[in-house]
Chains A and B, each alone.
Chain A
């Protein structure tokens, strides 16, 4: 996970994504996770396209497999990223949640 100063710097950008709307392009379900994400496996990650045309990979939250169809509408939310590191700093990041 990132160092405290990197977390502090990254957190300043989160407001730029909060509440943005996007659509799912492709998705996968990860069974073998990297270090820091093992406790969340299996979990979904999708490449989403924002309304302004930008594309980005995001972990999906509050989501089931049936929600993941091409062009499924999602909203960007802020959530905790992975495990808390040895320095006890909680890192937050952007994830995507299906729109009801």
Chain B
């Protein structure tokens, strides 16, 4: 994985239409935007087409944004609008209508973006776990298996599974909540925690 572009650089790359850096911005934002489109569309091909469409439009028009900070919310808005258009075209007005309508509001969108970024970072942190630890943690969290079931499936003791789960959670907590490796500012962290604790 190559270097991470700062928002200002990303914005410059989009404006300049240099294929190399343009693709770099695409690669950087793809997982977040794709996960968002997929969440509502439930279709991998359609979700990817939405992202391609958003970036094709940016390429085509004279791209202007006043504040670099607005880039992320601009991209998310563009994706969400296209998802809504898709549902309207397919005569599926009621589909996720309320949630998508809420996301038009800046405060909702902000929380939504933060939550998506957190999930992407958690996924990166899970990928960085040692092999066995990662396997066990994924069986627990992605497949929804209990420790007992994981122990049976992998022919391990429950104690071993618990130990590996502890290692995984400690590493996730250290890298996501204690370091700034993933560029989560303390305020962002606090906001996420408050948002998640308040939400039902």
Partners in one complex: no
Residues on A lying within 8 angstroms of B by beta carbon are: none
Q: B residues near A, CB below 8 A?
A: none
